[in-house]
């Protein structure tokens, strides 16, 4: 048997004398445990030791709940899950529009020290990014670098990139955080352990 002791204290200042009165309610409750589970008990077994303010019996909220009778309809659950998945559109993440970065020319730079960074590239679906991808495709495949697409109007733009540049892995992404971290406001570019290049 496990005994639980619960105490609740209230502080109240007397209007007449200014003294502070502490009211403490202590409840001792006991539950018999059988193999680690709380045994069945009725609310009649509980003893009310005090009441503060307007209260509503908890039984009112429990009367319509019977855990033992809960049944899961597996078929209905699968159907609802399927409908939920079908309602999520790939276009939910689009359009991608960076606030602090624009397509343009970039002067690459070397890091002060070599960083443990796996190569990755940042592009958009704009004409300059497409020309850059054409020039750098073989290098990007060799580096196995993921391509973060930070500017695109729809998922269809991303699909076009996948078709036109097979062998590259395109990932829709927010670019402002990357640009801020690297102190860059233009794309496309490639990041390696040595630095940032266009």
pLDDT at 115: 85
User: pLDDT digit string (tens) for 74-97?
Assistant: 888 888 888 887 777 777 788 999
List pLDDT tens digits, range 14-65: 455 444 444 444 444 444 444 444 445 565 666 666 666 677 777 776 666 6
**Per-residue pLDDT, 32:** 42
If you count them, how many residues does the chain have? 198
Asked if 24 and 8 touch (Cβ cutoff 8 Å), the reply is yes
% residues pLDDT > 70 (the chain): 68
Mean pLDDT over residues 128-147, rounded? 96
For the cut 80, the answer to whether the pLDDT of residue 104 exceeds it is yes
Residue 189: alpha-carbon gap to chain centroid: 28
pLDDT recorded at residue 36: 44
Gap between the Cα atoms of 4 and 53, Å rounded: 24
As a whole-number percent, the residues of the chain with pLDDT over 90 amount to 45
Sign of CA dihedral 169, 175, 181, 186: positive
In 3D, which of 126, 130, 119 has the Cα closest to residue 163? 130
Residue that the structure tokens 């062998």 belong to: 167
Written as six digits, the tokens of 21 are 């009165």
pLDDT value of position 66 = 63
Q: Which residue would you say has higher pLDDT here, 107 or 55?
A: 107
Find out whether 74 and 95 touch, Cβ atoms under 8 Å: no
Task: Render 162-195 in DSSP notation, one character per residue.
Answer: HHHTTT-EEEE---HHHHHHHT--EE-EEE-SSE
Q: Can you say whether the dihedral through the CA atoms of 46, 48, 53, 56 is positive or negative?
A: positive
Average pLDDT taken over every residue of the chain: 78
What's this model's pTM, rounded to 2 decimal places?
Answer: 0.57
Q: Which whole number is the average pLDDT over 173-193?
A: 93
């Amino acid at each position: 048997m496990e005994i639980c002791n619960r105490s609740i204290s209230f502080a109240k200042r007397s209007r007449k004398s200014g003294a502070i009165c502490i009211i403490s309610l202590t409840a001792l409750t006991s539950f018999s445990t059988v193999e680690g589970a709380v045994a069945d008990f009725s609310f009649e077994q509980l003893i009310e030791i005090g009441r503060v303010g307007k209260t509503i019996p908890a039984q009112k909220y429990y009367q319509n709940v019977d855990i033992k009778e809960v049944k899961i309809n597996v078929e209905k659950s699968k159907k609802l899950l399927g409908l939920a998945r079908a309602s999520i559109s790939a276009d939910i993440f689009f359009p991608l529009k960076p606030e602090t970065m624009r397509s343009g020319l970039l002067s690459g730079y070397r890091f002060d020290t070599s960083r443990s960074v796996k190569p990755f590239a940042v592009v958009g679906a704009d004409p300059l990014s497409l020309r850059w991808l054409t020039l750098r495709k073989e290098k990007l495949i060799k580096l196995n670098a993921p391509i973060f697409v930070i500017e695109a109007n729809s998922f269809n733009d991303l699909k076009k990139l996948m078709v036109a540049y097979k062998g590259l892995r395109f990932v829709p992404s927010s670019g402002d955080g990357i640009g801020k971290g690297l102190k860059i406001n233009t794309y496309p570019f490639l990041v390696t352990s040595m630095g940032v290049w266009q």
